[in-house]
Amino acid sequence: MTARVTVMGSGSWGTAFALVLSDAGQQVTLWARRPELAAKINSQHCNPDYFPTIDLPDTLRADHDPDRAMADAEYVVLAVPAQSLRATMAGWRIPADAVVISLAKGIELGTGYRMSQVISEVGGIGADRIGVVTGPNLAREIAERQPSASVVASTSPETAIRLQELCHTSRFRAYTNHDVVGCELAGATKNVIALAVGMAAGLGFGANATASVITRGLAETARLGVALGADPYTFSGLAGLGDLVATCSSPLSRNRTFGEELGWGRTVAEISGETRQVAEGVKSCASIQDLARRSGVEMPIVDQVAAVIAGTITAKEMIPALMSRSAKPERY
């Protein structure tokens, strides 16, 4: 049965996921902050700012008025950057019965909240009406309808199955998962690890170095997750290893690319000033570091990335700092 879905945010992932939902047969409305972008999406049936060469279905409509866009939505998909979710959501009237789905991969600065916690607090929405979509889902590849698997997570098994039915297509294979904590922590932390991998690549190091950072990055992510109540298996699944590998190995990743440019010796300000797209790890490294400290969990790679982003060390100093740590058994 066709469902009414509104995607709030028409950047790269919001647009690509709106396409998935349309392909799955849903009636989709896309909210764009800028009226001129909404008008272009409606008249040109493409999003010229993000995917100028990709046709969007005629059935997909855009609107710049958030309340009108969501008015009769059964599902509201949140596709704005993590650090702006609270402020944007506070001004919206989400329909009382709608299921709310987070696409953002970040941890809120200040609170250390995962996105589902922000949604619950700001919207007064129960966990059974909240879902998370995560996994190896580079937006451009999804928009090109390349095959991909993904995870739809909710603490409510019924909601997870509804979300799976909502977005599963022959090109987008959605698996359910009930470990929202693990899925969200994995999605946010892989961006920080991708910054580190990018830095290693930008410094000219090869596959041994990047594979080592990916693997140890996964170990510290799982350590944090387990301390916060996540299921350890989540980290070897699509939300964990899957997304980590996709993000750390693709030139399409904004986080990996940002890290690579840091490795070339560019500054955070220089790189940030050149793109309007969000590399979530640049902000979330500090909130994840904070979560780890509060939980008594060691996250050496996150610590080093946070130091580079804060400007207290250079990317060049990061690898020697990691290599000179005391020797230890692998499982720690």
Ligand X SMILES: O=C(CO)COP(=O)(O)O
Of these, 7, 63, 75, 105, which contacts ligand X (CB under 6 A)?
A: 105
Q: Which is nearer to ligand X, 162 or 254 (CB)?
A: 254
For ligand NAI, the binding residues in 101-120 under the rule CB under 6 A are: 103-106
| Min dist. Cβ of residue 311 to ligand X (A) | 21
Q: Known catalytic residue: 190?
A: yes
Strands 130-134 and 99-102 turn out to be parallel
Question: Is 9 part of any known ligand binding site?
Answer: yes
Question: Is 243 part of any known ligand binding site?
Answer: yes
Separation of alpha carbons 243 and 241, rounded Å: 6
Q: Is 242 in the site for ligand NAI (CB under 6 A)?
A: no
Q: Quick one: tokens of 70? A: 């969501």
Q: Which is nearer to ligand NAI, 104 or 186 (CB)?
A: 104
| Min dist. Cβ of residue 138 to ligand NAI (A) | 5
CA separation (Å) from 87 to 80, 82, 280?
11, 10, 16
| Min dist. Cβ of residue 314 to ligand NAI (A) | 25
153 binds, among ligand X, ligand NAI, none (CB under 5 to 8 A by kind): none
CB 77 within 8 A of CB 103: yes
Q: Is 280 in the site for ligand NAI (CB under 6 A)?
A: yes
Stretch that binds ligand NAI, among 18-26, 65-73, 119-127, 136-144 (CB under 6 A): 136-144
Q: Write the DSSP assignment of 39-107 as a string of letters.
A: HHHHHHSSBTTTBTT-PPPTT-EEES-HHHHHTT-SEEEE-S-HHHHHHHHHT----TT-EEEE----B
Question: Is 129 part of any known ligand binding site?
Answer: no
Q: Is 86 exposed, middle or buried (0-12, 13-18, 19+ CB in 10 A)?
A: middle
Q: Is 182 in the site for ligand NAI (CB under 6 A)?
A: no
Question: Is 281 part of any known ligand binding site?
Answer: no
Q: Which of 190, 283, 316, 328 is catalytic?
A: 190
Q: Quick one: tokens of 120? A: 């619950």
**What is the x/- site pattern for ligand X, positions 194-213, by CB under 6 A?**
x-------------------
Separation of alpha carbons 217 and 223, rounded Å: 10
Question: Is 50 part of any known ligand binding site?
Answer: yes
CB 98 within 8 A of CB 129: yes
Separation of alpha carbons 216 and 236, rounded Å: 13
Q: Where are the alpha helices (DSSP H) in the chain?
A: 12-23, 35-44, 66-70, 82-90, 115-123, 139-143, 157-167, 180-202, 207-227, 243-249, 254-263, 268-273, 281-295, 300-310, 315-323
For ligand X, the binding residues in 225-284 under the rule CB under 6 A are: 243, 246-247, 253-255, 280
Strands 130-134 and 148-153 turn out to be antiparallel
Question: Is 254 part of any known ligand binding site?
Answer: yes
Where is the binding site for NADPH, in residues? 12-13, 33-34, 50, 105, 139, 254, 278, 280
Point out the residues that are catalytic: 190
**Chain positions contacting ligand NAI, by CB under 6 A:** 9-14, 33, 79-82, 84, 88, 103-106, 137-139, 277-278, 280
Where is the binding site for substrate, in residues? 105, 254-255
Where is the binding site for sn-glycerol 3-phosphate, in residues? 105, 135, 190, 243, 253-255
